[in-house]
Amino acid sequence: MSEAIALIDYGAGNLQSVHNALMAAGAGHVHLTADPAIVRGARRIVLPGVGSFKSCAEGLRAVPGMVEALEERVLADGVPFLGVCVGMQLLATRGVEHGATAGLDWIGGEVLPIEPRDPSIKVPHMGWNDVRPMPHRDGASLIEGGEAYFLHSYHFVPDEGREIAAMTDHGGGLVAAVARDNILGVQFHPEKSQAYGIDLLERFLSWKP
């Protein structure tokens, strides 16, 4: 039997595209859900996110019992977790978009505006860009070099460099992925990254941290 995967629906994600990409990667059962009980029974969890840090954080906390269910399964039980775009940024301690807002604080750091060194570089960072893996002992094994699709105006700055799993460049270095233990977050969109994104999701589906 295929493992049950919870794809969190909190009104802030490119849900159908992520669902379709997970299915294309070989997922057997993907539950698009806002039900903490389903999250507590899931064997893998995916948290998408599109929009501002503030709206996504508030949307997630507005789902009764969801943050507690995520903490129970991910932090206490150690199930594999993938955060995508703002879903990755929510792992931070806080974000400053539209005012300081608390994140989940699973990976210490801040989500700050992209400020390119070269003023000719446009923000948002949008389109295809290189993903460069960094040395890391946990989830970085899932990240391979290649090109992925990005769309963001804010970026995750972790407190600990060892939790940076991959970098990209847009007028200066930007974190493309973070990882610790059973937690992986990617700034890019696997569901929009064609073969590169599907390959990453395939590795996530078989990951045994």
Active centre residues (catalytic): 85, 189, 191
Rounded to whole angstroms, the Cα distance separating 11 from 205 reads: 24
CA distances from 53 to 37, 56, 103, 118 (A): 25, 5, 8, 25
Alpha helices in the chain (DSSP H): 15-24, 36-41, 53-61, 66-70, 86-89, 194-206
Tokens at 164, concatenated: 């940076």
Report the alpha-carbon distance of residue 87 to residue 97 in Å, rounded.
Answer: 14
Tell me which DSSP letter residue 157 carries. E
Burial of 40 (C-beta count, 10 Å sphere; 0-12/13-18/19+)? middle
Amino acid at 87: G
| Token couple for 122 | 């446009």
Neighbours of 61 (CB within 10 A): 14
User: How far is it, in rounded angstroms, from Cα 111 to Cα 156?
Assistant: 4
User: What's the CA gap between 191 and 189, in Å, rounded?
Assistant: 5
